[in-house]
Structure 1
Amino acid sequence: MTGGARETGASRATGAAGTSGAAGAGPGGAASPADEGLDARLVVERGAFRLDVTLTAAPGEVVALLGPNGAGKTTALRALAGLVPLDGGRVRLDGRSLEQAPPEDRPVGVVFQDYLLFPHLSALDNVAFGPRCRGARKADARAQAAGWLDRMGLAAHATVKPRGLSGGQAQRVALARALAIRPRLLLLDEPLAALDARTRLDVRAALRRHLADFEAVAVLVTHDPLDAMVLADRLVVVEDGRVVQEGTPAHIARHPRTDYIAHLVGLNLYHGRAAGHTVRLDGDGPEVTTAGELSGPVFVAFPPSAVTLHRERPTGSSARNRWRCAVAGLETHGDRVRAGLTGDLALAADLTTVAAAELDLRPGAVVWATVKATQVHAYRD
């Protein structure tokens, strides 16, 4: 994409919102409290792929769209910005219908994954671009931009062009540019994806502070569970173009409902039918013993750290759950080793590198996996 094309795309989505888009009108021209925030159903059809996602959010709420590659997250974000036309549904923001509004007339700010800063403009003029598009005089727009750069800790970089900024600095300039138009909806498309691990840690903390002060709706698209857990008040998990689960980060981390979510939050997840303390897993799977009593269809989950491995069948273990497995693969997770197991039950187990060496773990090795009933979490389907 050329520099000119980049400027056109960015200007449509980051700063050229019309003055008519501030809020929906209630009595006396003010927005009704019931109308405040985002109410959207996004239906987009692209060949065999169909996106059908409902999103609602109150002012001050940060919602994270989480899902695997190709799930439709970015398509949903671009539909909210008006960069992708809807094939059905609605977009209402503060009581105002936006389905027919072009991007430049929507009170929406966007932070793109690669920031899309104008390469020929300084940091100050990048941020001033939005207010200028909304009719502010050059001096006023630059004064506003200077204030935003100061908030971002970038006052000393006002005259620097994008090529002279670090990744973290460029991300903060892009955020300042999006916020400078005082949007009623802030869209963040993988805002930390281009950063190295150390910079990501610092910028994530700064972004959390800025989002905490943001009074309108923010929608974050990410595939990183840590970004979602740290930054969002609520998670909406999308798979294959549809919502499969939503809730607070804590609820979803403890009650995953798909294999993707379980993998994301680091849990072994199964489905079965409970009768008291025993759950018979689907597909003629083994029984799993739980500490709690339930009946009917349930999910069963436990972390890889709850699994203990033995080279011989354990006889004196207090663990109620025992399965004969084979090592399918090994990979390093920080200072621990994660073993992927198949056999009586497919599962992941975490253990120290010392324990892995003592057990002489290798692909194909036969082991026994045990899990205490108190470590198994069962919850209703």
Structure 2
Amino acid sequence: MTMRAHLVVHRPAFTLDISLEVAPGEVVALLGPNGAGKTTALRALAGLTAMSGGEIVLDGHRLHTLAAEQRPIGMVFQDYLLFPHLSALDNVAFGPRCRGASKAEARRTAAALLERVGLAGHAASRPRQLSGGQAQRVALARALAVEPKLLLLDEPLAALDAHTRLEIRSQLRRHLAGFDGATVLVTHDPLDAMVLADRLIVIEHGAIVQQGTPAEVARRPRTDYVARLVGLNLYRGVADGTRVKVGELLFSSSDRLEGPVFVAFSPAAVALYRTRPDGSPRNLWQATIDGIERHGDNVRVHLDGPFAAFSDITPAALADLDLTPGQEVWASVKATETHAYPA
């Protein structure tokens, strides 16, 4: 049941042109900034958005020639779109009924799926009586009720509060692990993608800019968007052995390479000084503080200078250094914390 697709959709602002392959049992997450084309891709797969070109082949069958209701697809929408006048049981039974199952058979299927997602006790509840997490699980059960070969999820956790999201994310991962078809997930949340997906595909301006396992993408971002997503400072440079020229600065790296490279380091690796530190520390530059904000348990300092950078320091360090916006500081990163890889 491998799904292979080449999706081409012309939009006024951009053209989506991407190729996807998703294996049986695999969960692939589409990540990207707003307007990148993620939801357009999902809707094209579902048959809800007309394609300008390309094809969708699932288990050897050409889906792009079929109407949306004829495709062996289950979809969970961002706002779930449960029928407000139907119970949870009848919402889940709706798909099988549309596929020709008897009322009794459809209800048996629905009851089994509600039990599978832990909602057997809420079968008679209407959507307005369900919490956000319960509604999400009903929507997932409804998508699975048609026995799809391809499962599509559009921001399935976006409507949940932070506490509920943590619990439902874990449950959703277990449910997806039990689905033997191909799954495509759209999300803007990197944590959702890292936890739920086996592989990430990053889309910007309608094109794929990076793909790989969550660990590969997090370790070696290739665009500013991905770097911000995984919390790294990222720059382009030219390597000569362990030395990398980034603009006018020469960095020492822990990697030996030649030619165009990316250089990445964590904001936590950036040390700040009020005055130039003694000795000759490598990877040292002068910068101006552009802003200071709370970042989790630490403080994120925005630096401007030869290039923009982030430094994460403790509140105690902020007080000791007496840092304020507009102030000039020295910043440094150890060579062992500076990683280069081919561009």
* Alignment TM class, shorter chain as reference: over 0.9
Q: Could you tell me which runs of 5 or more consecutive residues in structure 1 were left unpaired when the two chains were aligned.
A: 1-35
Q: For residues 322 and 83 of structure 1, what CA distance do their matches in structure 2 show?
A: 53
1:294-313 matches, within 5 Å, as 294-313=257-276
1:320-335 matches, within 5 Å, as 320-335=282-297
Q: 1:91 aligned to 53, 56, 63, which one?
A: 56
1:130-169 matches, within 5 Å, as 130-169=95-134
Q: Could you tell me which runs of 5 or more consecutive residues in structure 2 were left unpaired when the two chains were aligned.
A: none
1:1-20 matches, within 5 Å, as none
Q: 2:151 aligned to 154, 163, 186, which one?
A: 186
Q: How far has the Cα of 1:48 moved from its partner? A: 3.7
1:241-260 matches, within 5 Å, as 241-260=206-225
Deviations along 1:162-209, one digit per CA (max 9) or x if unpaired, are 000000000000000001111000000000000000000000000000
Aligned length: 343
Q: How far has the Cα of 1:125 moved from its partner? A: 0.4
Q: 2:329 aligned to 333, 358, 367, which one?
A: 367
Q: 2:319 matched to 1:354?
A: no
**What RMSD in Å do the two structures reach over aligned CA positions?**
0.9
Percent identity of paired positions between Structure 1 and Structure 2: 65
1:285 aligns with 248
1:377 aligns with 339
AA aligned to 1:304 is: P
Q: How far has the Cα of 1:316 moved from its partner? A: 4.2
Q: For residues 212 and 181 of structure 2, what CA distance do their matches in structure 1 show?
A: 19
Q: For residues 344 and 372 of structure 1, what CA distance do their matches in structure 2 show?
A: 18
Equivalent pair of 2:235/2:262 in contact (CA under 8 Å): yes
Q: How far has the Cα of 1:332 moved from its partner? A: 1.1
Q: 2:307 matched to 1:342?
A: no
Q: For residues 107 and 336 of structure 2, what CA distance do their matches in structure 1 show?
A: 60
Q: For residues 313 and 116 of structure 1, what CA distance do their matches in structure 2 show?
A: 59
Aligned to 2:65, what secondary structure does the other structure show? coil
Q: How far has the Cα of 1:286 moved from its partner? A: 1.2
Q: For residues 278 and 204 of structure 1, what CA distance do their matches in structure 2 show?
A: 42
Q: For residues 124 and 285 of structure 1, what CA distance do their matches in structure 2 show?
A: 65
1:31 aligns with none
Tell me the TM-score normalised to structure 2 length. 0.98
Q: 1:272 aligned to 213, 237, 243, which one?
A: 237
Q: For residues 193 and 291 of structure 1, what CA distance do their matches in structure 2 show?
A: 39
1:95-244 matches, within 5 Å, as 95-244=60-209
Q: For residues 48 and 356 of structure 1, what CA distance do their matches in structure 2 show?
A: 43
Deviations along 1:209-245, one digit per CA (max 9) or x if unpaired, are 0111110000000010000011000000000000001
Equivalent pair of 2:242/2:257 in contact (CA under 8 Å): yes
Equivalent pair of 1:323/1:345 in contact (CA under 8 Å): no
Deviations along 1:110-158, one digit per CA (max 9) or x if unpaired, are 0000000000000000000011111111011111101101111111111
Aligned to 2:293, what secondary structure does the other structure show? strand
Tell me the TM-score normalised to structure 1 length. 0.89
Deviations along 1:268-299, one digit per CA (max 9) or x if unpaired, are 00111101111011xx3311111221111111
Q: For residues 285 and 179 of structure 1, what CA distance do their matches in structure 2 show?
A: 56
Q: How far has the Cα of 1:362 moved from its partner? A: 1.6
Q: For residues 13 and 85 of structure 2, what CA distance do their matches in structure 1 show?
A: 40
AA aligned to 2:330 is: W
Q: 208-217 or 340-349: which moved more?
A: 340-349
Q: How far has the Cα of 1:326 moved from its partner? A: 0.7
Equivalent pair of 1:286/1:345 in contact (CA under 8 Å): no
Q: For residues 150 and 50 of structure 2, what CA distance do their matches in structure 1 show?
A: 18
AA aligned to 2:256 is: E
Q: How far has the Cα of 1:331 moved from its partner? A: 1.4
Equivalent pair of 2:255/2:341 in contact (CA under 8 Å): no
AA aligned to 1:91 is: I
Equivalent pair of 1:285/1:345 in contact (CA under 8 Å): no
Equivalent pair of 1:225/1:265 in contact (CA under 8 Å): yes
Q: For residues 82 and 115 of structure 1, what CA distance do their matches in structure 2 show?
A: 18
1:80 aligns with 45
Q: How far has the Cα of 1:358 moved from its partner? A: 1.4
